[in-house]
Amino acid sequence: MHRDGQVEQALHKSDENILARMTHGVRLVVAEVKETGEIVGTGGIGWGLMSRLLNSTYSRNHYVKEAFQRGRAGVSVGSMLRRATIEKARSMGFRKIYGFSTPESKGFHQRFGAAFLPAYDMRFSESTLAFNYYEIHLRRSIWNHIMIEPYIAKLTKLYYQRIRRELKKRS
């Protein structure tokens, strides 16, 4: 869960910059208010080479503005986005969606069939939050029991940490 203030800080960048960062290697689903066109939530699944090779996709870019969370606006935007990303992943032929959740969001993901695997939980160095690893199996496959995805996620984390260190050195 992100506070609106954190998201608003990120939104001070140009629309092109924001969309390029959010959609790079991602199939994005957007929730907007029909009458105003205001974007109130996003959800996405990875579509990079590793996703295609493993036939599983990483759940990314899930955000719902606070005023629209937990049905506050009379509609469950987060649930709509999760159903849409699951359907998108199924239609693309993926066997599983995997990702990380904050402890507060575990119940939400479990409603959609997520199984949490504590052995693969992660803590990011720039955050005090622990993130819980989960998987949602979309179809039966012998490959669902081979645990490659958590290691790919950890390698990706290390890669991005290295990039951040390099950027700090340059600035």
Query: For each of the chain's 171 residues, which pLDDT tens digit applies?
Result: 445 555 555 555 555 555 556 566 788 888 888 888 888 888 999 888 888 888 899 898 788 888 888 888 778 899 999 999 999 999 999 999 998 888 888 999 999 999 998 888 877 655 567 788 899 999 998 887 777 887 777 777 676 677 777 777 876
Residues with Cβ within 8 Å of residue 22, at least 6 apart in sequence: 28, 42, 44, 61
- The region, left, alpha or beta by phi > 0 then psi within -120 to 50, assigned to residue 37 is left
> How far, in Å, CA of 67 to CA of 72, rounded?
6
At residue 135, the pLDDT reads 93
> How far, in Å, CA of 97 to CA of 116, rounded?
12
> How far, in Å, CA of 98 to CA of 107, rounded?
15
Q: Which CATH number applies to 4-170?
A: 3.40.630.30
> How far, in Å, CA of 25 to CA of 20, rounded?
10
Residues with Cβ within 8 Å of residue 76, at least 6 apart in sequence: 70
For the chain, the structural domain boundaries read 4-170
At residue 1, the pLDDT reads 46
What is the β-pairing status of strands 56-64 and 96-101? parallel
Which tokens sit at 140? 């039966």
